Amino acid sequence: MTGLLPVGENRIDQAWGDSSNTNPTPFPPLFGTAFGGPSSQSDQTTQKDPLLKYPSQGHVFVSDPSQCQSFAYSSDPPNSGAMTHEWIPQPQTPLKDISNCTIVHVLSKGNVLLFVNPKKLDPETLKAIDRLKGPPKPPSAFLSQEQIGYAVLVITTEKYKDPILLAAWRRLLPLSTWDQIIVNGFISNHLGNPHRGE
């Protein structure tokens, strides 16, 4: 029985309406902060959104990769602008082996790049990154995945201040520590859809 308590009765199982198919519990329903709802406490720290959004520099195809050296990209690593028709050959590659033109081309298709400095990361984070890459694939299968815009590529570098930097078309997300939820959210929002948010 659900509904209001008759006067003089003190039965907790009658106190709470219950729309489930289970027996009512003596515990009140949970709302608010238990499930991420509003809190009555004021937040003393306002956290800045770490996602960096850049204006589009277009899809500028060049025939010679040296032309990319003179292009004024609005970010480092670049996330739009001059590009060639080149691909990154494997799921984990050092940055020194990739031109800016190639980075932009891969991002323009909807892929996500994860720039990491392995020297600044703990073993657990490195394992999480390996899991993110998934099982090894033949080069042709990886290239197909990259060409349709559904590849997550790990680029090793010591170039950037933050040990982890996620890149998508017109978006960069620097991270000082690994946060699987944030990484998954970034990948879910940008993988396969390069022009979301334009």
Average pLDDT, integer, range 63-73: 86
pLDDT (0 to 100) of residue 112: 96
**Nearest-CA neighbor of 168 among 65, 73, 80?**
80
- Residue with the larger pLDDT of the pair 13 and 143: 143
Q: How far are the Cα atoms of 54, 60, 71, 154, 179 from residue 134, in angstroms, in the given order?
A: 29, 32, 34, 11, 18
| Residue 164 placed within a domain | yes
Count structural domains, the chain.
1
| Residue 198 placed within a domain | no
Q: How confident is the model at residue 60 (pLDDT cuts 50, 70, 90)?
A: confident
| pTM of the complete model | 0.73
Domain ranges, residue 62? 54-190
Average pLDDT, integer, range 168-194: 93
Query: Is the pLDDT at 153 greater than 70, yes or no?
Result: yes
CA distance 138 to 123: 26
Q: How confident is the model at residue 58 (pLDDT cuts 50, 70, 90)?
A: confident
Of the candidate ranges 63-67, 68-72, 99-103, 192-196, the one whose mean pLDDT is the lowest:
192-196
pLDDT (0 to 100) of residue 27: 45
| Residue 141 placed within a domain | yes
Contacts with 137 (C-beta within 8 Å, 6 or more apart), sequence order: 91, 145
**Nearest-CA neighbor of 77 among 110, 61, 54?**
54
Query: Is the pLDDT at 59 greater than 70, yes or no?
Result: yes
Query: Is the pLDDT at 14 greater than 60, yes or no?
Result: no
| Residue 97 placed within a domain | yes
- Residue with the larger pLDDT of the pair 187 and 137: 187
- Residue with the larger pLDDT of the pair 122 and 40: 122
pLDDT (0 to 100) of residue 132: 85
Strand partners, 156: 94, 116
- Residue with the larger pLDDT of the pair 25 and 195: 195
3-state secondary structure of 100: helix
| Residue 91 placed within a domain | yes
